[in-house]
Structure 1
Amino acid sequence: MTRASDSSPRRGRLFALDDSNPLVPYLYLLPHAVFFFVFIVYPVGYGLWVSFHRWDLLGGQQEFVGLTYYRNLFDPSTPQSQFFWKSLLNTTLFTLVSTPLLVGAALGLAVLLYRPIFGRAVFRAIFFMPGILSVSVMGILWRWMFDNQSGLVNVIRQEFWGLPVIQFLTTEGWAWVPIIVGTVWWTVGFNMTLYLAALGGISQSVYEAADIDGAGPWAKFRHITVPLLAPTTLFITVTTVLASFQLFGQSQVITNGGPARSTQSVIMYITEEAFSNYQLSSASAMAFVFGALMLVFTVIQFRLMVKDLNASRER
């Protein structure tokens, strides 16, 4: 009788949802785990399976072809290889140009708007509000701004300076201008907000000590602000690079990837291969190659920047 009475409370405590139950943390994690496996793990695994088969939407039998679609991407004679690497080069160019602008402009705006100036909150809102627009609205706006004939930029050039019209949307090289300018205008406010939050975490006593030593504004910015903002800069740079490599909507709406595919991003080409050319297997292979490249690039970038961050802290 004593043993029965002792064991029943223990069995009850095993299924009791209190802090002492070892199953409680897993029950809290279960909903997220379910969604993670359903919407992340399963689609990725299924996409990998599709890339190893000749996927036919109308056919009932899918032929296993192994690494055929991956080899096509590294065979210069195939159109998939030519267009994929060209679009990847376009995306890399966009990332190399837009990332320094987004990081540098955000830092500059944050430093200016952190000071106690009149209307500071209004200016912060002005720079942040474009980020709430959808990519389609942003793209239509900047496509109109840089229209070849009636765009605001060309009208101002003609009316005020008498300069000739520039065919922004149909000239290679110039077609990147509305995409890059529009992207910076659209997203710089988010990075600025992150820098403003980081600036608020810097103790004013550090700047007061620098004032006592006779440091000027530039010296304080260079030797205090920039080093103390290094962790935030690392985060902003990595996330901005990843976001820039996901370029799609801006090029799609503003230039439609033209002229001559010069502004076509890699995601645009993967989408074209899947839903216009109906080559789902080839598109899946491209997506995994692109994802692997981004993973390698991110790891290298993160390690280099962490190394520089640690070196600056040691100094």
Structure 2
Amino acid sequence: MSLVPYLYLLPHAILFLLFVVYPVGYGLYVSFHRWDLLQETRPFVGVEYYRNLFDPSTPQSQFFWQTLKNTLFFTVVSVPLLVISSLGLAVLLHRPIFGRAFFRAVFFLPGILTVSVMGILWRWMFDNQIGLVNAVITQFFHRQPIPFLSTEWLAWIPIVVGTVWWTIGFNMTLYLAALGNISESLYEAASLDGATAWQQFRGITLPLLTPQTLFVVVTTALASLQLYGQSLVITNGGPTRTTQSVIQYITEEGFSNNQAASATAMAFVFGVIMLIFTAAQFRIMARDVQGGN
């Protein structure tokens, strides 16, 4: 048996063991001990930190599930908006309109900004007193400023709107590439048969874009579940943790509260939840793709 193929795989295997398997294994080890960086002894506590997450009387359980609920809310709201708006923009900008290249660039450019720049921009726009949105409300509608950043659930508006503005260009580009691969002869045949523009979109465009939609939905959902920077910069998780993401709380538990083992246990539980959510979503979407074929 030749060892040459395995030698080609060896560099990847080494990197995989070093940067994936070892950190995961070490993280599991940490989660089973009372891990204090300032102490030399780190006693074994078993599944204590995992049990705390399912004990409603512990603050770790209360805050973890609350922030997880916040993250799921953001995902449920932002993913449909990102998929539908990016598809709509792609359909509009796929047509031979004046300035098409310019508008494509305009919608794609926000994606090159860092999350800190994007967060500062949208925090300023929705500032309770001097924000651009409140300036428009007071000047043109003669209303009192709306305290977006200090009102529960209203604080989600700049986070969701800012995220859609920030990331819509990437999904739009994916859809534009997919639309370019659809043969124009299909639309010509449908037009000769008397199909309207909406019927062509529903009967030709949507079914042929199903694989791309599967990819966009899964990747967008994964990115939304990893919400961190937007809520940190725009609202800092407030007010009263209503916009704090689960990753933000895990970071707080590990670094601010110096509870590395507890934070690691939360990270593993959240990772399992993400895997289950993604697998279920992928299974449902893949079944639709196969059904469409």
Which band: TM-score by shorter chain? over 0.9
The DSSP-based 3-state class of the residue aligned with 2:130 is coil
The answer as to 2:45 corresponding to 1:75 is no
Distance (Å, rounded) in 2 between the aligned partners of 1:170 and 1:27: 58
Cα gap change, 1:25 to 1:163, in 2 (>3 Å): farther
Report % sequence identity. Answer: 70
Hey, what does 1:185 align to over in structure 2? 165
Q: Which amino acid aligns with 1:161?
A: F
> Does 2:42 match 1:62?
yes
Structure 2 counterpart of 1:160, one-letter code: F
Deviations 1:248-292 (A, max 9, x none): 000000000000000000000000000000000000000000000
Within a 5 Å distance, the mapping from 1:47-196 to structure 2 comes to 47-196=27-176
Written as runs of structure 1 = structure 2, the 5 A alignment for 1:1-315 is 22-313=2-293
Superposition deviation, residue 203 in structure 1: 1.2
1:3 is matched with none
Cα deviation digits, residues 111-169 of structure 1 (max 9, x gap)? 00000111111110100000000000000000000000000000011111112210000
For residues 32 and 108 of structure 1, the distance between their equivalents in structure 2, rounded to whole angstroms, comes to 40
Let me know the Cα RMSD of the aligned residues: 1.1
The 3-state SS of whatever aligns with 1:53 is coil
Amino acid at match of 1:285: A
Q: What residue is the counterpart of 1:17 in the other structure?
A: none
Q: How far does residue 37 in structure 1 lie from its aligned partner after superposition?
A: 1.5
Letter in 2 for 1:44: V
**Aligned partners of 2:197, 2:96: CA distance in 1, in Å?**
15
Partners in 2 of 1:178 and 1:217 — Cα distance?
34
Aligned length in residues: 293
Larger Cα-atom Rg = 1
Cα offset, 1:243, TM superposition: 0.3
Instruction: Tell me, in whole angstroms, the C-alpha distance in 1 between the residues paired with 2:10 and 2:201.
Output: 47
Q: Write the deviation string for residues 192-243 of structure 1: whole angstroms up to 9, x where unpaired.
A: 0000011111111111111111111100001100000000000100010010
* Partners of 1:273 and 1:189 in 2: CA distance: 34
Instruction: Please report the TM-score for the alignment, with normalisation by the length of structure 2.
Output: 0.98
Deviations 1:54-102 (A, max 9, x none): 1111222221111110000000000000000000000000000000000
With the length of structure 1 as denominator, give the TM-score of the two structures: 0.91
**CA deviation after TM superposition for structure 1 residue 28, in Å:** 2.9
- Aligned equivalents of 2:196, 2:276: Cα separation in 1: 41
**Structure 2: distance between partners of 1:186 and 1:25:** 43
Letter in 1 for 2:231: S
Structure 1 residue 312, shift from structure 2 partner: 2.7
Q: SS of the residue aligned with 2:280?
A: helix
Cα distance, 1:308 vs structure 2:
1.9
The unaligned stretches of length 5 or more in structure 2 are: none
Q: Please give the alpha-carbon distance, in whole angstroms, between the structure 2 residues aligned to 1:207 and 1:103.
A: 23
